[in-house]
Chain A
Amino acid sequence: MAAVSSGGWRRWFYLYLPLGAIVILTLFPFYYMAVTAVRPDREMYIPWNRPNFAPFWTLRPTLEHFALLFRETLFARWLVNTLFIALMSTGISLFCGLLAAYALARLRFPLGGALGTGIFVTYLVPQTLLFLPLGEVIRSFRLGDTPWALILTYPTFLIPFCTWLMMGYFRTIPRELEECAQIDGATRLQAMVRIVFPVAMPGILSAGIFAFTLSWNEFIYALVFLSSATQKTIPVGVVSELVRGDTFFWGPLMAGALLGSVPVAFIYSFFVEQYVSAMTGAVKG
């Protein structure tokens, strides 16, 4: 610590400059995405080694790419789909996860520990391991190409996450709180819903925010389980409708990428603390 805190140029050299460079590297792709989204086509396709290539800004910003996005693709529809699917799957996962977490953290019953471990293990199953058989299952349930294909499958990675996070949270709430309520005549279930859940609200919010961003960002299930253009989510829609063979429509692509990123970034900016605590909490368990 002393080496870094002994002021002056050393602090600049070891701390501010590298951190500044990393922040710039981190944020540059987003900046470039935004610049490309408003850059007119005739300015876009100038080879990088031409002298008049001014990559960092444009003097003639345009909204033509956004207009094209809404006029010629179903972007508005994809936005609604993504939002609906993310909200529904988050809701289902919070419901299932909360109840399961309460049982695992608070109740004593046979095989409780093994079930907890089992749920933790499903949390570690990556989506890419099972996407092909899961597609078969979706088809045999006749859910293919409907939003339900995603609303019902996203909880497979969201429920374990919510359960795990909420278990950690419930353990920090003193048991006495419920016991008092039960002495006052409340049943166990009433104590859970009226006393424990309200106290756990910050944890529920964290889990919800995190789950929402995870389902907003999901790609491979959406890519495999949905086929018609009207059903798609933003990530899949943008990739499949704005890339034709080897031709990338970079203007509209970047406009779509920007618009698809803004909602999560916006929500995130309000709930950074909750998001970080969910992320670190999920790791610590």
Chain B
Amino acid sequence: MNRPTDPVTSTALASPAVTRAALFGLTRLRRSTRTERREWLLAFVLLLPALTMLALFVAYPFARGIRLGMLDSVVGREGQFIGIQNYIKLWYDSIFQRTAQNTFIYTACATFLKLSLGMLVALMLNNLIGFKRLLRASMLLPWIVPTVLSTLAWKWMFDPTFSIVNWILYHLGFIQVRVDWLGGPVAAITSVILVNVWRGMPFFAITLLAGLQTINPDIHEAAAIDGANAWQRFWRVTWPLLMPVTMVVVLFSVIQTFADFQLVYILTGGGPANSTHLFATYAYQIGIATGKLGEGAAASLAMFPVLFLVVLFQLWYIRRGEGGKGGA
């Protein structure tokens, strides 16, 4: 039986906030006064430039991207519609499978290391009395300097023949023979993860430090008086209070790491033998280097489901936090 869509379910499917706002808008429209209408007009005018830019260069390319992912376009030739064949082809492509696996490993390892190291550094900085500003400022350098340029320095430090990293480890007695940092698949992805941690850790440390500074030291003192040791105080007091900041930082970082391009492009170019590609670098290789635009667009859109879930989770988390605050 072909039943019309149940209005209750379709309302429930839309975000409750949107529905509420829409209902609010409709009821207000009828009863709106002249001053209200003028306020709406002003809001519309003020939002117009931003929304125009975002519509032209985000929403429109997004729609075109979905279409492009279903074409067999190559550079210089209009494509034919081929449905989801690009996606099917990628699904069975062993390099793409490897790429997907790499991206998840890369994101998980790098995020975990950035969070744990960043948390440690934040705790240490929070305990520091002098030099706090100076240390904070110098520690952020990897984060503000153009990533491609600092990654070039790392590439030079990992050079198979002239590696300074090897020199240091050799003279400290850690290695006897040279390590080819970017030579093998495992070594290469490990090196890329290390550089990502180097670059991203400061963001975690500084943001978590800002969060730590908002925690009232009295709470710690109270816990200490009640006999909690440093370890317990961290897990029972600091960690839960820091949770909202941690969550947002982690989700931001997961999105950035998952969609990373520059580190791999510079350090390994996806090699050796296509073993270190991430979604973005593989999409670049297919779309730009090989010129198969349709397939490349499909490869980068393959990131979308994961990114979408992360964003949904983040929105849910923020909403939940706001609801809690409102209720308190």
Residue in A110, A115, A131, A280 whose CB lies within 8 Å of B210: A280
Q: Which of A152, A188, A265 contacts B57 (CB 8 A)?
A: A152
Which among A32, A235, A275, A283 is the interface contact of B249 at CB below 8 angstroms?
A283
Q: What residues of chain B lie closer than 8 Å to A269, measured between beta carbons?
A: 137
- In the complex, what residues of A have CB within 8 A of residue B178's CB? 48-49
A70: B residues at CB distance < 8 A: none
- Stretch from A39-47, A173-181, A196-204 contacting the other chain: A39-47
A30–B150 Cα distance when bound, in Å, is 7
A110 touches B220 (CB 8 A): no
Please, what's the 1-or-0 string for B36-54, where 1 marks a CB less than 8 Å from any CB in chain A? Answer: 1001101110110111011
Q: How many residues does chain B have at the interface if contact means C-beta atoms less than 8 Å apart?
A: 112
A-binding segment of B3-11, B19-27, B182-190: B19-27
The reply to whether B58 and A235 form a contact with Cβ atoms under 8 Å apart is: no
Given A132-B297, A239-B148, A279-B206, verify A109-B39 contact (CB < 8 Å).
yes
- How far, in whole Å, are A276 and B29 apart by their CA atoms in the complex? 42
- The answer to whether A26 and B142 touch across the interface, beta carbons within 8 angstroms, is yes
Among B44, B207, B280, the residue within 8 A (CB) of A109 is B44
B280 CB → nearest A CB, Å:
4
Cβ-based interface call for B304 (8 A): yes
Most buried by A among B50, B57, B60, B140: B50
Which one of A2, A48, A250 has the highest number of Cβ atoms from chain B below 10 Å of its Cβ?
Answer: A48
Report the bound CA distance from A21 to B93 in whole Å.
44
Cα-based distance from A160 to B64 in the complex (angstroms): 21
Majority SS of interface residues in chain B? helix
Please indicate which of the listed interface residues A108, A129, A265 has the most CB atoms of chain B within 10 Å of its own CB: A129
How far is B152's CA from A257's CA once the two chains are assembled, in angstroms?
8
Tell me if B241 counts as interface (CB < 8 A to partner A): no
User: Is B108 positioned at the interface, with any CB of A under 8 Å from its CB?
Assistant: no
B279:A99 contact, CB within 8 angstroms: no
Q: Mark B229-270, 1 if CB is under 8 A from A, else 0.
A: 110000000000000010011001001101111100110000
Query: Is B276 interfacial (CB 8 A cutoff)?
Result: no
Instruction: List chain B residues, Cβ under 8 A from A189.
Output: 42
Q: Is the CB of A23 closer than 8 A to any CB of chain B?
A: yes
* Given known A25-B198, A48-B163, A111-B22, contact A124–B307 (CB-CB < 8 A): yes
Name the one of B121, B140, B153 contacting A33, with C-beta atoms under 8 angstroms: B153
> Do A100 and B139 contact each other (CB < 8 Å), given the known contacts A30-B150, A32-B157, A128-B303?
no
Between A and B, 24 residue pairs with Cβ closer than 8 Å are A14-B124, A15-B124, A23-B138, A32-B157, A49-B166, A49-B170, A99-B50, A100-B47, A100-B49, A108-B36, A110-B22, A115-B51, A128-B279, A129-B65, A130-B61, A132-B65, A132-B300, A134-B57, A159-B50, A248-B155, A260-B146, A261-B146, A269-B137, A272-B136
Seen from chain B, the residues whose Cβ lies within 8 Å of a Cβ on chain A are 15, 17-18, 21-22, 24-26, 28-29, 36, 39-40, 42-44, 46-47, 49-51, 53-54, 56-58, 60-62, 64-65, 68, 120-121, 124-125, 127-128, 133, 135-142, 144-150, 152-157, 159, 161-164, 166-167, 170, 178, 198, 202-203, 206-207, 210, 217, 220, 224, 229-230, 245, 248-249, 252, 255-256, 258-262, 265-266, 279-280, 283-284, 287-288, 293, 296-297, 300-301, 303-304, 307, 310-311, 314-315, 318
Q: Which 9 A-B pairs have the closest CB atoms?
A: A110-B25, A126-B259, A133-B65, A128-B280, A100-B50, A257-B149, A103-B46, A96-B50, A280-B210
